């Protein structure tokens, strides 16, 4: 690209002015061009429980997030930090996840249905298995609720591998109890907090299901939240529509 071209682009950008009119005039065009965009085409944020070794809390690390400390929950897309979150549990799945070890760069490599599939995939890709951890990964798809307004904010994935598996199992057991009382899985609001734990490897933070009211771990979702949860569920699983299951 020539220097003149760069200058021309910069001039055009500098002259752009945001539309200040009534957006309702454009309402009829909302959705056009996005007809083929489904939930599978969107980036879904992940909620991560920060530990003392997490990159986000390390001073001077490229991935450091301002204000982040161990024991906080972070949205990996928005980098929003919380000490606890209110959520609706939309769906549960369990996969085998291949994680790249920290010394090899860290992060998720890929997910598989079985451990055997994971090992074969690494071999076929010419990867050294020593650079990876293969583990069972329970994942909850949740709808996040704004604690200030009580309105739904959007969906996120919540991975619960390792020491978090026991929390995942406990949560699923509580959801089963709620379903036995007539509540759909995505018909309850939960508060997920954080607590400190320790084992032979040392101390760490884990998720904790808090009492959302006196003596109760969940409340029946208000209609607005239930409607949003239903819509979110159906967008991810269109073949399992709620009206057909009723």
Q: What is the pLDDT of residues 194-224, one digit of tens each?
A: 999 999 999 999 999 999 988 899 999 999 9
Query: What domain range includes position 84?
Result: 41-94+138-238
With respect to residue 130, please indicate whether it lies within any of the assigned structural domains.
no
Question: Which residue is listed with tokens 């076929």?
Answer: 124
The residue among 184 and 43 whose pLDDT is bigger is 184
Q: What is the maximum alpha-carbon separation in the chain? A: 69
With respect to residue 121, please indicate whether it lies within any of the assigned structural domains.
no
With respect to residue 120, please indicate whether it lies within any of the assigned structural domains.
no
Q: What is the pLDDT of residues 81-124, one digit of tens each?
A: 999 999 999 999 999 999 899 889 888 899 999 999 999 999 99
pLDDT for 42? 67
pLDDT for 39? 60
Q: Are 171 and 45 in contact (CB under 8 A)?
A: no
pLDDT for 214? 86
With respect to residue 234, please indicate whether it lies within any of the assigned structural domains.
yes
109 burial type by CB count under 10 A (0-12 exposed, 13-18 middle, 19+ buried): buried
pLDDT for 8? 45
38, pLDDT greater than 70: no
- pLDDT, the chain, mean: 89
With respect to residue 86, please indicate whether it lies within any of the assigned structural domains.
yes
With respect to residue 31, please indicate whether it lies within any of the assigned structural domains.
no
Enumerate helices (H) and strands (E) in the chain, giving the number of each: 5, 10
With respect to residue 245, please indicate whether it lies within any of the assigned structural domains.
no
Assign 3-class secondary structure to 81-116.
EECCEEEEEEEEEEEEEEEECHHHCCCEEEEECCHH
pLDDT for 9? 40
With respect to residue 50, please indicate whether it lies within any of the assigned structural domains.
yes
Query: What global pTM score does this model have?
Result: 0.78
59 burial type by CB count under 10 A (0-12 exposed, 13-18 middle, 19+ buried): exposed
pLDDT for 184? 97
The residue among 58 and 8 whose pLDDT is bigger is 58
The residue among 29 and 143 whose pLDDT is bigger is 143
245, pLDDT greater than 60: no
**How many structural domains does the chain have?**
1
């Amino acid at each position: 690209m020539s220097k003149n071209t760069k200058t021309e682009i910069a001039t055009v950008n500098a002259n752009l002015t945001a539309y200040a009119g009534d957006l309702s005039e454009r309402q009829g065009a909302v959705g056009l061009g996005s007809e083929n965009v489904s939930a599978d085409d969107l980036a879904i944020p992940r909620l991560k429980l920060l530990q003392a070794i997490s990159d986000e809390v390390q001073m001077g690390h490229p991935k450091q997030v301002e204000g982040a400390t161990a024991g906080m929950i972070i949205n990996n897309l928005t980098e929003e930090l919380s000490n606890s979150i209110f959520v609706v549990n939309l769906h549960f799945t369990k996969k085998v996840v291949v994680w790249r070890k920290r010394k090899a760069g860290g992060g998720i490599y890929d997910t598989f249905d079985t451990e055997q599939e994971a090992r074969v995939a690494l071999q076929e890709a010419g990867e050294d298995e020593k650079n990876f951890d293969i583990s069972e990964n329970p994942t909850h798809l949740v709808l996040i609720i704004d604690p200030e307004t009580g309105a739904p904010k959007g969906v996120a994935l919540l991975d619960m591998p390792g020491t978090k598996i026991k929390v995942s199992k406990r949560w699923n057991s509580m959801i089963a109890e709620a379903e036995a009382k007539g509540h759909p899985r995505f018909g309850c609001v939960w508060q997920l907090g954080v607590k400190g734990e320790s084992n032979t490897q040392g101390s760490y933070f884990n998720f904790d299901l808090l009492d959302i009211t006196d003596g109760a771990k969940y409340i029946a979702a208000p209609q607005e939240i239930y409607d949003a949860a239903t819509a979110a569920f159906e967008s991810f699983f269109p073949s399992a529509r709620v009206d057909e299951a009723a």
